[in-house]
Amino acid sequence: MERTDARQPRSLAPLWGSMLRSIFPKCVRAEEIPQSATPAAEAPDVAPKAAEPTLQFEMFSREWQQTSMQDNWDGFRIEAQNKVTDQLQATHALFLGTQLRECGYIYQFGPAFQSVDGRTMLVARYGLDGGVNARAVQRVGKSWELKAMSNSSLKDPQRNMHEGSVEYTGPHMALAGKLSWQGAWLWSGALSRKILPSLQLGGDLTLVAVNGVTSIGQIGLRYAEGKDAFTASLSRSPDQKTPGSQAHECRLQYVRKVTDRLALGSEFKYSYPDKESGLQLAYEYSFRQARVQGLLDTDGKVSCCVQDFTGFGFSGMIDYARGDYKFGVMMHVLPPPEAGQQ
């Protein structure tokens, strides 16, 4: 008998298949991959964007106010603070060679108190010229705030002023009411409402007990998104030049936060029926314990203020239209830090 070989001829298909798989990787569908083989995706470490808070109507243009408002003074100014307790401080302020008073100097002294939780604040100042200033702020709950302020002068009755106000700030709406006396009674109310996360609308109305009842009204809007803030307002008030008529004024403000330290802003205003307009440009550069401010407007006014909150400060203002020049130097005297504090 012939012997037959039990071994069959070997196929070349598996060999070619392994070679092709090594050259061209196999396409695998997502549903074919087991979940245990896929690493868990890490959530991106991105901080949630803070929502624009609801603001009182008078604070709609807070960025422009912070950038453009300067504490300009003339002469030499020194401010000192003495720590009495952890919550109470005694403050002193001395002005020499100033044009604010006929005598050429001002000295003010007073206490400043703030509670541990920061909900109560009391500030008072007494000056050698017979002026007394006092202010109190009390927060009630999470949304209410009570304020009172009083200015009294023994020599100048026109400086006497007293007012009290109540404010409510909620998640979507803010209300404010104020009653004051400045030689005549004044009542004002304000309302602001958040329409969109970045858009707020509001207005206020003031009634003055002069010539019966005189009203002053204002409406406005605020749009803030990221580093940009835009505000617009339209006001109506009695025309001082033409008794019995009304004057209207429109203001537009825009502030851009260029960096964390630098902010640039501008304001345009137009009044009717006077048809007068004005433009202001301002900047603010902030350091850790100091800041530099500058302002330029079309009325011929240029000003700059440099303040170091722990040392010296300089101020300069030139009003070419009125021929007014003010230059001043300021020095801060603060209590030394306690042991163990920087």
Measure the CA–CA gap between 302 and 255, rounded to whole angstroms. 19
pLDDT tens-place string over residues 268-290: 999 998 899 999 999 999 998 88
DSSP 17-44: HHHHHHHSPPP--GGGS-GGGSPPPPPP
Mean pLDDT of the chain: 84
DSSP tag of 73: -
- Residue 339: the pLDDT is 58
Average pLDDT of the residues in 98-102: 83
66: phi > 0 → left, psi -120 to 50 → alpha, else beta; which? Answer: alpha
Its pTM stands at 0.77
- Residue 66: the pLDDT is 92
Confidence of residue 336 (pLDDT cuts 50, 70, 90): low
What CA–CA distances, in Å, run from 94 to 53, 99, 106, 135?
Answer: 38, 13, 6, 20
- Residue 99: the pLDDT is 84
- pLDDT of 233 > 50? The answer is yes
Residues 267, 253 contacting (CB under 8 angstroms): yes
- pLDDT of 145 > 60? The answer is yes
When comparing pLDDT for 46 and 65, which is higher? Answer: 65
| Phi, psi angle pair for 288, to nearest 5° | -65, -40
DSSP tag of 209: -
What is the percent of the chain with per-residue pLDDT over 70, rounded to a whole number?
A: 83
Q: How many CA atoms lie within 13 A of 41 on its CB side?
A: 3
Measure the CA–CA gap between 124 and 196, rounded to whole angstroms. 40
Tokens read off for 67: 């950038």
